[in-house]
Structure formats: structure tokens, C-alpha cells
Structure 1
Amino acid sequence: MRVNNGEFVRSSLLAGLGVGYLPAFMVSQNVKSGAIATALDDYIRPATAVYAVYSHSRYLSAKVRAFVDFMVERLANNPFHL
């Protein structure tokens, strides 16, 4: 089965319905508690682009600029743990 809903995949894993591929931040608590087991721990998925989309404006809101800067720094240092 192929789905585009991470929460559905996580729920399916918790129900023991198979294997799935999710970012660590979605399942870290479940892995720590033993509810979900990991496999292929050495596998590294090819990089995927992430885009920040916002409306064009002559002046960018300070809040938007702060959020974009935060995400750039956060994803550059550890792309799999938001």
C-alpha cells in the first residue's frame, strides 16, 4: 500500500500491520517505548528539497523571515529531526 499520510502510516505500524518509512520525529517516542521497532537503520534516503512559499511582498514580515531562517538552520543541521 502507498499512502501520503504519515499519521496513517504510524497508526498502521502501531497496529502491527506491516512496515513503513517515516521521519524519526514522527515515531521517536514510539521507538523509545518499544511500540515500534526500527529496521534498516543504516539506510539514508536521498535528499529531498524543502521550499518555503509565501506571497510576494516588497517587505517581508519579520515573523516570516524569522521562521524561514529558523527552518533553514534547523534543517541544515539535522534534516530528519524537526
Structure 2
Amino acid sequence: MKWFRRLIRRRFLPFLAIMGPGVVTSLAGNDAGGIATYSSIGAAYGYQMLWMLVWLFVSLGITQEMIARMGVV
């Protein structure tokens, strides 16, 4: 049992410290109206619009990089 506590302390807690703020931020935009919209769009389109995630990921990465540069200055 001691090895398990050590494993949690060395691996899991640093992981939560890094991932925690991102998870909280991603959950902040999921309100009842958003979940209903996500469900209806998913039912209507299925996987047809999944390709847009590639472009969304690239554009969000560029935007995040620009904002980080502005924050440094």
C-alpha cells in the first residue's frame, strides 16, 4: 500500500496540477443550452463535420500563440 501512495504522489498529483486548470476551463462552457445544441447537431450531422476539427485545432493553436506573445509584452 505504501508503494501505491508513493505512485500517486509522484505521478498522479503532478498530472492533476498540470491538467486541472485546463479541465476546469473546458467544462466552464458546457451549460444546459450548449449540451442540448451539441446533442442536436450531433444527431443531425453525425461525423460529417469532424474534419473541421483539424482546421479548428490549427486556428486555435495560432490564436493561443499570438495571445501568449501579447501577454509577454
TM-score class normalised by the smaller sequence: under 0.3
Which structure has the larger Rg? 2
The structure with the greater share of residues assigned to helix is 2
TM value normalised by structure 2: 0.24
TM value normalised by structure 1: 0.22
